[in-house]
Amino acid sequence: MSRIWLINPYSSTPSTGMGGRHHYLAKALSRLGHQVTLVAARRHHLLRQDVDADRLPTEEIVDGYRFVRIDVPRYSHAHDKRRILAWFVFAARLLQLRRRLGEKPDAVLYSSPHPVGYLAAERLARRCGARLVFEVRDIWPLTLVEVGGYSPRHPFIRFLQWIEDRAYNNSDRVVSNLEGAVGHMTSRGMNASKFTWVSNGIALDEVATPAPLPAEVTAQIPKDGLRIAYTGTLGAANALETLLNAAAMLNDLPAVHFILVGQGRERAFLESRRDELGLNNVHFLNGVPKKQVQSVLGACDACYIGWLNSPLYQWGIAANKIPEYLFSGKPIVHSFSGGSDPVMKFDCGITVPAEEPKALAEAIRRLHGMPEDGRRRMGENGHKAAVEHYDYAQLARRMEQVLLG
């Protein structure tokens, strides 16, 4: 039995947030016989709004692994500048983890929703004689430069760049859920032999038995026509305005419906944009628990996911909704210009260039006019890919090799 510490400041459990990647990896690794500890910040913007972080236990056992919380300052939302203060406090308190837990790990993985804590994780791993793994989920600081518009010459961006380059050089192994990220990493001086791709995934036992939708949710989904679902955060990065503009070009197809399920900072804008365009074919539903997502997708006929047209995505994409969409067995309409496109790879839908409403509208027309067996074939391809390549039980075995060799 090996001791594995997974460190992700923004992790949660299914009862406090979405659970997500590290919850499922920790659960699967513990089932493989390892003693797994998942470390996160007590407070962060990805917790559910109804969760009182102050009342959460400092340590608890969740699905066979230990979940440990580190206190950090409060901040209001993802764009609150106090969030950066929380980064540094988390890193400083992470250094106390060995003394706090009274044990040494065999492997330490630091995940980079922000990279600042890597410095503490590196020191912690070296003091303990543990293997150090750096996990890249968002490429920092490139994401801040390409999406946030910051100058590469900004002093803080330079500091983050120094951390990134140090992590590629000093870590024993580097892992990412972005399939093509190794291209970026080698451009920063990393030896390509360090890299392993471990995608985001699904827990097959969970998605195979979804919770039913409440009657009030079911009533909001049209009963017939081509129903295209989007589930997840309603944010600027999800290019949902492109979808609304495409919907405006499809008013002559009243049997096409767009079902947007979720919350986010862009929801009010998107609803006002829908009203401005006079769209009767776009329906907004409140977010549903993760265990009901497959029930939403099962009540629809296709799925949509979109992205901004950014060079950042040449290294790949890793939205959690992709394996969920694949498993649903429904064709995917993908507005994307980048590398390692799973929709094209598995022939499970239609991909069009990002932020091009006309091309997106034409793809939806094509899907609407497609024989049922054509749509079914695409959906079956996606479902097969989800079962064969995105099961967290399989992904955990790959991660086990990265962590322990």
pLDDT for 77 = 85
Instruction: Parse the chain into domains and list their residue ranges.
Output: 3-201+391-404, 205-389
pLDDT for 1 = 85
Q: What is the dihedral of CA 303, 77, 47, 241, to 10 degrees?
A: -10
pLDDT for 78 = 82
pLDDT by 10s per residue, the chain, length 405: 899 999 999 999 988 988 789 999 999 999 999 999 999 999 999 888 889 999 999 999 999 999 999 999 999 888 889 999 999 999 999 999 999 999 999 999 999 988 999 999 999 999 999 999 999 999 999 988 988 889 999 999 999 999 999 999 999 999 999 999 999 999 999 999 999 999 999 999 999 999 999 999 999 999 999 999 999 989 888 999 999 999 999 989 999 999 999 988 899 999 999 999 999 999 999 999 889 999 999 999 999 999 999 999 999 999 999 999 999 999 999 999 999 999 999 999 999 999 999 999 999 999 999 999 999 999 999 999 999 999 999 999 999 999 998
Question: Which DSSP string do the residues of 247-292 spell out, in sequence order?
Answer: HHTTTT-TTEEEEEE---TTHHHHHHHHHHHT-SSEEEE----GGG
pLDDT for 312 = 92
pLDDT for 48 = 85
CATH fold label, 3-201+391-404: Rossmann fold (3.40.50)
Rounded to whole angstroms, the Cα distance separating 175 from 189 reads: 15
Tokens of 256: 């096409």
pLDDT for 147 = 80
Is 205-389 the same fold as 3-201+391-404? yes
Q: Decide which of 1.10.1040.10, 3.40.50.2000, 3.40.50.720, 3.30.9.10 is the CATH code for 205-389.
A: 3.40.50.2000
**pTM for the whole structure:** 0.92
Q: Cβ(122)–Cβ(132) under 8 Å? A: yes
Q: Cβ(190)–Cβ(268) under 8 Å? A: no
pLDDT for 265 = 87
Q: Which of 72, 61, 21 is nearest to 37 (CA)?
A: 61
Rounded to whole angstroms, the Cα distance separating 328 from 371 reads: 19
Length of the chain: 405
pLDDT for 163 = 97
